[in-house]
Chain A
């Protein structure tokens, strides 16, 4: 069964550093998403991406964040200058359409020290 994959599973970085989280969505999906989950809290939407552009973003997704689909398979989330409060699980998801079932990857745990 096809699944969303994410790398790395755990990323440790120092405050102020840039990080890139990588995702490979399900191959025939057209919509891609990033969510984050701070430890013990609910899953929060960051951004959705369709047709090579951002279609929706939340207040969390400020200028420090960017997304990119550099090729036909990868979808990345970049945090330009990490802050302590960026420490969280970051989930990538994909779906065939908008407003339908989204399939989640296993997540990347980002720890900012």
Chain B
């Protein structure tokens, strides 16, 4: 099946620093990607998405970069805050199908 993996299972950053969370995907047919944030005891929460016809998309304090050549996705969080502590998942979608394939997740801890 499809494989979406994360390079680092855990990441610790100082409050105010920028965070970068990485994701590798294996299916070159994937054309839509979402970053989700999951806080303890809650469901995944949408952060930002990007389609394969773009290589960068910016939101509020977050930026997603897509490198289709190496099948790599990253999430950058600017000025990381304690409330950003959570597990972050990338998820990929293929040809507007209904199924999203999730990665294992990276646990981000923000140190005050």
Contact = CB atoms under 8 A, between A and B. Distances in A.
Interface of A: 4, 31, 33, 35, 41-45, 48, 50, 55-56, 58, 91, 93, 98-107
Contact of A101 (B41, B49, B105): B49
Q: 4 shortest A-B CB distances, which residue pairs?
A: A99-B96, A104-B43, A48-B98, A43-B102
Contact of B105 (A35, A42, A48, A103): A42
B92 to A, nearest CB: 11
Interface residues of B, number: 25
25 contacts: A4-B43, A35-B102, A42-B4, A42-B89, A44-B102, A45-B100, A45-B101, A45-B102, A48-B98, A48-B99, A55-B98, A58-B99, A91-B43, A93-B43, A98-B97, A98-B98, A99-B93, A99-B95, A99-B97, A99-B98, A102-B46, A102-B100, A104-B44, A107-B41, A107-B42
B103 A106 contact: no
Nearest to A33: B98
A102 B45 CA distance: 9
B34 interface: yes
A42 B4 CA distance: 10
Interface of B: 4, 32, 34, 36, 41-46, 49, 89, 91, 93, 95-105
A106 B42 contact: yes
A4 B36 CA distance: 16
Contacts of A43: 44, 89, 91, 102
A98 B96 CA distance: 6
A51 B89 CA distance: 29
Given A35-B102, A58-B99, A104-B45, 14 more contacts: A42-B89, A42-B104, A42-B105, A43-B89, A43-B102, A45-B100, A45-B102, A48-B98, A56-B99, A99-B95, A100-B32, A102-B100, A104-B36, A107-B42
A58 B1 CA distance: 10
A42 B102 contact: yes
Contacts of A107: 41-43
